[in-house]
Amino acid sequence: MSAGRPLRLIVFAKPPLRGHVKTRLARRIGHRAATSVYRVLLADTLMRLSLVPVASLELCASGRRHPSLWSLARRAGAEYRLQGHGDLGQRMQRATARALSDGFSPVIVGADCAGVSAVHVGAAFDALDDGADAVFAPADDGGYALIGLSRPLPGLFHRMPWGMPAVMARTRRRLAAQGLCWRELPGAWDVDDWRSLRRWRRERCDGGWR
C-alpha cells in the first residue's frame, strides 16, 4: 500500500429512489426490485471497501442529503458528502480537487461497481504512489469503474460523453496528448442489466465478490 500521501477513497452514489437508479435493469425486473438491488449493491460496496486501510473514506452522494445514505455512511465509518451540481465529470473533478487540496491521494469508485475489489483499490493507490498521474480500472461498457489522480487534471473530465462506450478510449487519447503517465488495472464490471445481476448474485453467494 502507498507510503506517500494519505489515502482518500471516495464512493460515488445516488440516493436509492425508485425510478432514479438502475433504470436499465428496471426494464427487466421493475423499478421496485431494481431499487432494492441498488440498496444492497451500495451497502455491499461501501462495507467491502471500508476494509481497505485508508486515512479517509467518503460516501459522496448526488442530489440532496438522504437519511438512508447518511446512516449507511455512519455504519461504514465514512464521511458523508454531497457531490454538488453539474455533470458527472464536474462532480468527479470537484471531489478529486478537494481531496488533493486536502493533501490526499484520491480514488473514486462507483457504488454499483461490484467488480471493483479491495485489491483494485490497493493497486490504484500503489500506482499513484509510484508516480502515475492517473490510474483506471476500465469497465466492460467502455467507461471506467475506478479512477485515481495524483494531481489535478481538469481537462480529463471536460465535455466527456458520460454513459457512452467511448469514455475510456477518449480518456486515453487526452492523457496521451498531454504526455501524461497513467496505469490501467484489470478490468472491472458493474451491475446494469440482467446478465450482470445474475453474475453479482452468483459471486456474492460464493464469496467471489470480495
pLDDT digits (tens, 9 = 90+) for 115-135: 898 999 999 999 999 999 999
Instruction: Pick 7-205's CATH classification: 3.40.50.11270, 1.10.1740.10, 3.90.550.10, 3.40.50.10800.
Output: 3.90.550.10
Q: What is the pLDDT of residue 210?
A: 40
pTM: 0.91
Contact 162, 185 (CB under 8 A): no
Question: Which pLDDT tens digits describe the chain residue by residue (210 residues)?
Answer: 444 789 999 999 999 999 999 999 999 999 999 999 999 999 999 888 888 889 999 999 998 889 999 999 999 899 999 999 999 999 999 999 999 999 999 999 998 888 898 999 999 999 999 999 999 999 988 999 999 999 999 899 998 999 888 999 999 999 999 999 999 999 998 898 999 999 998 887 765 434
- Domain-wise residue ranges, the chain: 7-205
Q: How many whole angstroms separate alpha carbon 3 and alpha carbon 198? A: 38
In whole angstroms, what is the distance from residue 146 CA to residue 89 CA?
13
For residue 207, the model assigns a pLDDT of: 52
List, in sequence order, every residue forming a beta bridge with 4; answer none if it has no partner: none
Chain segment 20-57, per-residue pLDDT in tens: 999 999 999 999 999 999 999 999 998 888 888 899 99
Residues 44, 114 contacting (CB under 8 angstroms): yes
Check residue 70 and give its pLDDT: 93
